[in-house]
Amino acid sequence: MQKHYLVERAEQIMEPYLADVKAVVNIDSGTYNKIGVDHVGRYLQERFHSFGFSTYFDVQQEYGNHLVATHQGNAPDGARILLIGHMDTVFPDGEVERRPFSIEEQDGMRVAKGPGVLDMKSGVLIGMYGVHQLILGGEANYKSVTFLLNSDEEIGSPASKALIQELGRQSDAVIVLEPGRLTNQVVSSRRSSGLYRVEVRGRSAHAGVEPQKGINAILELSYQVQRMQALQGTIPGTSLSVTVIRGGERSNVIPDAAYLEMDVRASSMAGIQAIEEAMRRVASRKIMDGTQITLTGDMRCLPFERSEQNAPLVRAAQEAGKELGLEIKDLASGGASDANNTAPLGVPTIDGLGAGGGLAHNPDEYVELDSLPVRIALLSGLVKKISSGTQHV
């Protein structure tokens, strides 16, 4: 089978692409490292300018500045496409010195490694180079393509969510550049992500002299831990994990306060309602007289549901993949992304258009190098399909 011209084009730009990946991977840019994230942002801003984009920074005080870059296409009445990526990683300062960008052999394939190489610095550049290939080929048949590269996705996008949603509402389609798993896979749904807390109040007392006068908050909390965790698996499409427990101040004092925290996920709004109601029932039942139990928390983002709203983008990706000789499969993911911030607005959204690889958030995360030209071509093809007519959005 003859190579598709988009793949051939992508193969020809692998040297500058990998040079850019190396440059941004070799900058420590953990979420709380504002200097590092801003360094990545300035580097990418220069690359966007060289590709014909206009840019601005949404300036932040606590986190890195969010970078917005826009290219005006050839079709004034065409599609407005938003691509979302993030510049922050989960890794601490000094990680680059310990394991800088490298290319090596792994299980018979060529891979690139380094902090954030998969999640998601390679994906950001797949988006940039994929769109640039269309610009160079005179195929920018859209009204506009806008990139939003935020600085706080790894902690749930608290400072960028409003900007994401503002730009999302101005768009006809959203493409999120999170890792794409295998070469022929994209992501069509993600669970919501929530943090919930159960606090127990009891009564303190001397643990040696008169323990009977105390009401042990840790003991009451232990029942809550077991009953909350027992909800795991009882409601389809949801998960619940008790992840933090705290209680007590001194070993000789009956503790009067204790709490637990839970990571809660749901695939649908109905699932959110059901799991929240189940948690409320558990928290309303106490074992020990004199204790008080309080349940707080909420979903930090709503689910990115597999829906008819988003189905045209999946079909467009499948059509683009077919032209490249790929049978594109769409997957569900338990983890949240910024797709969870646009899909609930009613904006058609697709995710997982980043690099293929594995072990995200792990020191051994890697990107499969031989698949990169095809992933860049897939991104280019998807943008072309969205731009070609309203039947795709």
Look at phi and psi of residue 282 and say left if phi exceeds 0, alpha if psi is from -120 to 50, else beta: alpha
Among 153, 161, 162, 138, which residue's Cα sits nearest to residue 335?
153
Say how far apart CA 48 and CA 53 lie, in whole Å.
5
Spell out the domain ranges in the chain: 5-190+303-392, 192-301
| Class of CATH domain 5-190+303-392 | alpha beta
Amino acid at 148: L
Using DSSP bridges, classify how beta strands 66-72 and 54-58 pair: parallel, antiparallel or unpaired: antiparallel
Q: Which residue in 159, 280, 301 sits closest to 227, CA to CA?
A: 280
Rg (CA), the chain: 24
| pLDDT tens digit at each of 393 positions of the chain | 678 999 999 999 999 999 999 999 999 999 999 999 999 999 999 999 999 999 999 999 999 999 999 999 999 999 999 999 999 999 999 999 999 999 999 988 999 999 999 999 999 999 999 999 999 999 999 999 999 999 999 999 999 999 999 999 999 999 999 998 788 999 999 999 999 999 999 999 999 999 999 999 999 999 999 999 999 999 999 999 999 999 999 999 999 999 999 999 999 999 999 999 999 999 999 999 999 999 999 999 999 999 999 999 999 999 999 999 999 999 999 889 999 999 999 999 999 999 999 998 999 999 999 999 999 999 999 999 999 864 445
How far apart, in whole angstroms, are the C-alpha atoms of residue 165 and residue 170?
9
Residue 318 tokens read as 């499948």
CATH number of the 192-301 domain: 3.30.70.360
pTM over 0.85, yes/no = yes
